[in-house]
Structure 1
């Protein structure tokens, strides 16, 4: 009896894999153009900024049944005032934003090596920025004009990830070993360890990239948890510091009435920050907690030639022994052809603890094939 039970468990975990198309290369292009007005963006004066927020040339192929590759050749924030880091593809630079090779042994077990998402949060750890609910990522994950709170190469890191979708996609796991922080802050060159697990209670999400909103085409209820650890760092001139992050998140997307609702929320606990963020007074070695909730409603009935989707997001930043910062975003998406052709308006207010609130207004046009 025990023998047959073991066979059933192994069979559920490693299901047979269908043969995939081979010797095929797909190429795609996608870009976002922005106009952004920032109150008090230059001293007491407003800042008017035109930029290409993201430009991605995607190339993927599969020479054999088990091996495939993917890359994004990209530039981010091209033209943003005061920002230029060519080696990371920010400003005037062009770089490989993502670049990996995948050994696909089975849908339940894949090995992916190269530069890829850090599988920590849903908002910037699994969700494609081509299909966000809101105009941009959450502020603490690099959205609007914010900075990513964890060590990354624009949300990515170099390493190896084991991941898969056992039990017909009911469960997804991602386990990453990567470089993390590489400067003098990591004197022993210790590796970084990141893990994420997701339970899919309705339709599964089995790809590497998820969508931030499915526009009524999918029924999703997922619950995720993750951690991020890199030990023995020197932060704020203090040696022997362990950077540790853990997070819980939930995502819901479902048709409702004559449309579809999307909702997402996450709590993030950060110990010994490796990053600084002047917007919210986050410094290296700080402990902090982040929380956000966002939701939107997609209307199936078109208005003129497209469909509308209003949304909101509320985000809080709580830093130990410092005052809290609140960030509110509200906006509207207008879809001409799903995520491949849309216009968006967004207004974000940052409520500082000891200064006047700052507003940021963004207009976006996004197109892709």
Structure 2
């Protein structure tokens, strides 16, 4: 649940060339029901529902969004043959980097990374995801005294005519300190663990390729404080082929840089944080279509800078989060045909509670 205010253009900058007025409201976000359990000695299940849209937001016709039916967000079965080989089947979170595999209940910042999720969020996205989820089979295991983790999966991905190439996603990670074996990772551990993980990942379907490297550090630096750092770099492209299953016109060539940094004060239960994301598009000619390449790149590039303060009443059971985030874009001046950098702000006060 949260109260929010944001400038016109924050979500759709090209409809509001100048950041002027602020919208405001109260919303219900991520109202989820989680169910899980052990079915046998080696088999377990997990099911999670969610609201597909934010209650309290504005509909396209100007009315308030108040009647929202729950959807199945996750529905998966996991069988642990050995510690080194497990299979997870069903609808599950899919990503080639650690940030994209985090639990929403334990985020460091106010929300997930924006630019690392642009093509896998909704059914009309290029990869036809559902809040980062996809249907398929994921193999996972731990080796070398649980220091090394692998995830290798095959998923449906985008469907054109049900004869599409499948989507393949994988990640290799090495844990230098404590074990990090949660299926959905924590965005911060509040000083309760010592974690240093480096990962490499890939995500590919047909002409689409996405390669990622990520680093995560969560470490107590004193009896009263711990630092959390999460960083990632991605290169992705929809390719240049023009076949039926090509992603060339839906995913331009681009890079994404991502950074989150926070510090938890144990005595006061406060955690300030900052975040930075940069999306730089460098499209191929075929990806831009009839639009001038330089103009296309500027229209589709952008950055996010933000910060906030978390207060934990009961660790992740109940917490209050205040955040201010800005998004910057290149906005075209129709009179001069030149681009001007515009920055739009958003402020959230978010109350989150979680029990499972």
Quote the residue 2:308 is aligned against. Answer: 331
Per-residue deviation, 1:91: 7.7
Residue 158 of structure 1 and its aligned partner are, at CA, apart by: 0.2
C-alpha distance in 2 between matches for 1:164 and 1:72: 23
Rate the CA distance shift 1:192–1:283 in 2: closer, same or farther, 3 A.
same
Residues 212-221 or 321-330, more deviating: 321-330
Q: Which residue of 1 aligns with 2:135?
A: 158
Question: 1:309 is paired with a residue of what secondary structure?
Answer: strand
Cα distance in 2, alignment partners of residues 142 and 334 from structure 1: 27
The 10-residue stretch of structure 1 (93-102 or 216-225) with the greater mean CA deviation from structure 2: 93-102
Cα displacement (A) at 1:189? 1.8
Deviation for aligned residue 1:123: 1.0
For 2:233, the equivalent position in structure 1 comes to 267
> Which residue of structure 1 lines up, in the alignment, with residue 288 of structure 2?
none
Which consecutive unaligned segments of at least 5 residues does structure 1 have? 1-32, 85-89, 232-241, 274-281
Cα shift readout 1:276-304 (whole Å, capped 9, x = no counterpart): xxxxxx971311110011100000112xx
In 2, the alpha carbon distance for the partners of 1:222 and 1:91 equals 42
SS at match of 2:145: helix
Pair 1:132 & 2:107 matched: yes
Q: Taking structure 1 as the reference length, what is the TM-score of the superposition?
A: 0.77
Task: Return the alpha-carbon distance in structure 1 between the equivalents of residues 153 and 56 of structure 2.
Answer: 32
Q: Which residue of 2 aligns with 1:255?
A: 220
Matched with 2:262 is 296
Whether the aligned pair in 1 keeps the contact of 2:7 and 2:23 (CA below 8 Å) is yes
Aligned to 1:58: 34
- Contact 1:193 1:228 (8 Å CA) reproduced: yes
1:340 is displaced (CA, Å) by 1.1
Q: Which has the higher strand share?
A: 1
**1:316 aligned partner:** 278
Which region of structure 1 is more displaced relative to structure 2, 39-48 or 318-327? 39-48
Structure-to-structure mapping, 1:180-199, within 5 angstroms? 180-182=157-159, 184=160, 188-199=163-174
1:330 deviation in Å? 0.6
Query: Following superposition of structure 1 onto structure 2, how do residues 176-255 of structure 1 map, counting pairs within 5 Å?
Result: 176-182=153-159, 184=160, 188-231=163-206, 242-255=207-220
Residue 313 and residue 112 in structure 1: after superposition, are their counterparts in 2 closer, same or farther (change >3 A)? same
Tell me how far apart the structure 2 counterparts of residues 115 and 91 of structure 1 sit (CA, whole Å). Answer: 25
- For the residue of structure 2 that corresponds to 1:130, the secondary structure is helix
SS at match of 2:188: coil
Asked whether the equivalents of residues 262 and 296 of structure 1 are also in contact (C-alpha less than 8 Å), the reply is yes
Q: Which residue of 1 aligns with 2:290?
A: none
Q: Which residue of 2 aligns with 1:109?
A: 85
Partners of 2:86 and 2:137 lie apart in 1 by 10
- Alignment check: 8 A CA contact 1:119 1:176 kept: no
Structure 2 residue runs of 5 or longer lacking an equivalent are 10-14, 61-65, 240-247, 283-293, 332-340
1:367 aligns with 2:332: no
Residues 176-205 of structure 1: CA deviation (Å, up to 9, x unaligned): 1010011x3x67321111111100000011
CA distance in structure 2 between the aligned counterparts of 1:283 and 1:335, rounded to whole angstroms: 44
CA pair 78-351 structure 1, distance change in 2 beyond 3 A: closer
Q: Structure 2 length as normaliser, TM-score?
A: 0.80
Q: Using the alignment, how far apart are the partners of 1:265 and 1:80 within structure 2?
A: 33
Q: Deviations over 1:141-183 (max 9, x none)?
A: 459xx9888652111100000101122210111111010011x
Structure 1 runs, 4 residues or longer, greater than 6 Å off: 146-149
CA distance in structure 2 between the aligned counterparts of 1:149 and 1:343, rounded to whole angstroms: 34
Task: Name 1:81's counterpart in structure 2.
Answer: 57
Contact kept in structure 2, 1:195 and 1:228, CA below 8 Å: yes
Contact conserved, 2:238 with 2:249, CA < 8 A, in 1? no
Contact kept, 8 Å, 2:6 with 2:24, in 1: the verdict is: yes
Q: 1:40-92 CA distances to partner (integer Å, 9 max, x unpaired)?
A: 158554221322220121111112112211111222543253469xxxxx982
Q: CA RMSD in A?
A: 2.4
Quote the Cα distance in structure 2 between the aligned partners of 1:100 and 1:83: 32
